[in-house]
Chain A
Amino acid sequence: MIQEKLKRDLAELASTLDGKLLRLEELPIDRKLTRFLLSRNLLKTKPALTKSFLRTRCMRCGNETPRKFAEIPCQKCNKAHFYCRNCMDMGRLMECDVLYYWNGPSAVWSKQKNPCSWEGTLTRAQEKAALRIKEAITNREKEILTWAVCGAGKTEMLFPGISKALEEGMRICLATPRADVVRELKPRLEKAFRHIPIQALYGGSKDKHKQAQLIIATTHQLLRYEKAFDVMIIDEVDAFPFHADPALPFAQKRSAKRNCTTIYLTATPREDLKAEIRRGKLTHVFVPVRYHGHPLPVPKLKMWHSLNKELPKLQSSNPLLYWLLNRQNPKRQLLVFVPTVERAGQLKTPLTNLMLKHKLIHHPNQLGSVHASDPDRERKVVSFREKTLKVILTTTILERGVTFPSVDVAILDAGHDVFDEAALVQIAGRAGRNSNDPTGEVLFFHDGKTEAMLAAIYAIKQMNKRGGF
């Protein structure tokens, strides 16, 4: 009897702790149990920072850059220690800190029967990719890239593969760069896998201590895992910050189990991935058509000579106004992208006044602006979705991950450095997302063409061509 109970308790603990790498304060068990598990070698520790002759390394985020460490006087040890400045938002780690990991029997996850409760159907293009992804999981392939245009319906394409993994008793993590996207995906996956416990992890989420076979997380949260997942789905693999922060690829690699299958998703692969595809080093499946079967809107370039001089005030007649007055479908909502937060702040009032004057909006509250550190971002996006906001003035923060049914898109100063090829393709991909309004206008206002603009238009046309248009 006691043996049985012990076994059950151990299994329970394993499913809570196996695959995690945590600070003492993060352990979901009390101190007494922690001490007991440590004494039985079921829980082990390793130093948070390692120091060798030449370099210091953070064992949580992999940081080795000297300037990303600093010194702090430690009260406990009475001397100065290094601490890692790179992963501080998950709690400061210094030299005398340790990270805890499970050393008992591995967690066993259920082999779920008929886990998928989704009743929709996939288009032919989606199905082809879905089957390929499922095959990759079945065969335990190391990695596969799914290159699907904006609006291809990539989440649904994952369902057969996720089902297969759940049937096999695998643990799955879907990682995406933005918390917004985690919040959006959670209800969709809960509907599609009604009986499967799903955990959503992002900074500030309340799901932290649950244990689930299927996890949706911001890529950042992977820093708390080690050898945890059989299947990893890395969404928007080209996106900031996954692309920019070396800690994230490090965490991704570490949180994978040895036989893990990694599925990368992107609409705009960076040059390095494309090169790997060309060299035959990276298997990929391409989805060139949107789920509704219509081609991608091709952006139009609009020259605006004195753009940088005229933008701050927006007084006289200008190319933007001319377009605004002559849109094909004036009922569509409007996304206006600008390169910087300063520009958004500067333009808000003049653009509101201009649109009021020409009766394009009827109240100043119909135009809102958002940026990355805007505390009201979530609410404004909801108002736009509910159509109380007609126009959003935004930085690149809304370039991906968010979907609105019927919008036109304009970029002001499309020649700015922040608008690289991937950003431009993503922004253009905001238009024509819904089958009720599958087209939409995309305008790049600029004061001189850039490589990026031309490359983006070329890429979009190429994809349409591959899609048979």
Chain B
Amino acid sequence: MKKPPTLGSKTVRGLNPFGGEQAAQLVPHTRLAGPVPWVIAIMVALTVIAAAGGLAMSNVASNARAELAGGATVQIIEASASERNRQAAIAEQLLAEHPTVASVQRVSDEELNTLLEPWLGVGANNNEAVPVPALIDVRLREDITEGNLNTLRGLLASAAPAARIDAQSSWLGPIFSALSSLQWLAAALVILLGLTSAAAVWLAARTALGTNHDTIEVVHLLGGTDPQIARIFERSVGFDAILGGAVGLALGLVAILVLGGQFEQLGSGMIAGGGLGWVDWLLIALIPLAGVAVAVLTARLTVMGALRRML
């Protein structure tokens, strides 16, 4: 009788990792056909947009804060134009002489008209139908406090009784609080989307595990170790996640650039400073990477959990 093959010499066997293409073959390549890459792509795109929005708002807020930190506005609220101009001129002079004041700038009538045009219509200010206060921009050498505002109030009280002084940042207080709510909202969205992505990946990993349960059991019974088997799924899910993450990042970036371009065109001083710095871009680039890490980790935990139920 012919001697059975390979039985003559024992093949060298070890506990080497079972990796590479051969191991990957154990799980059928569903790849793009499956929903996982697309779910991850959508999640990453949404997360990137939410994160970019939050970061941009945070930049707007901090830029505006810095710009307004030393700024105050003096309004001369007086119906009579001549009286208004007189008090404005006195106030301007008094302020310019004060040591804490860095610069004083009367907002010219033309400028005021341009600013108010959208609300009051062309030439509305000329016929005095709507009295508009005179505005003086004051910039201090130091940050504005209630204390130094009161000093300036005292300075103007007798010479220009119609003057009212406010820190510029206080005007924007409601806007700042709205911005910070939006930032919290963006952060919450990022967290929720992250959790949803993790849940989606978890479900996908479980499904993959279910359909390949027999294969896993066979490899397990042939002496495959838990880490070996987990690695097969990590690879498969990791590949899907990288693909989904890349597509999602691309979609998110397109959305950010389009939105960014539109805000740029608004040209409003309010939106200026809402651009993203390199740290922001780095954080955004980390999102798909975090997605891949979550996907791989979830796959690993799921597979290991299922294997632990086998002897």
Is B truly associated with A? Answer: no
